[in-house]
Amino acid sequence: MKVDELKAELDRLGIEYPSTAKKPELIELLKESE
């Protein structure tokens, strides 16, 4: 997944993330939300 895809998925799930978050952080947030 690209960073923008990860951010779109987090947005869809209503999960907030820092705008400075790097890809590994975004992936971690997504995993935690499952």
pLDDT of 34 above 90: no
Q: What is the DSSP letter of 14?
A: T
* pLDDT score at 31: 97
Tens of pLDDT along 9-33? 999 999 999 999 999 999 999 999 9
* pLDDT score at 26: 98
Instruction: Give the burial class of 26: count Cβ atoms within 10 A of its Cβ; 0-12 exposed, 13-18 middle, 19 or more buried.
Output: buried
pLDDT of 2 above 90: yes
Q: 18: Cβ–Cβ under 8 A, 6 or more apart, which residues?
A: 25
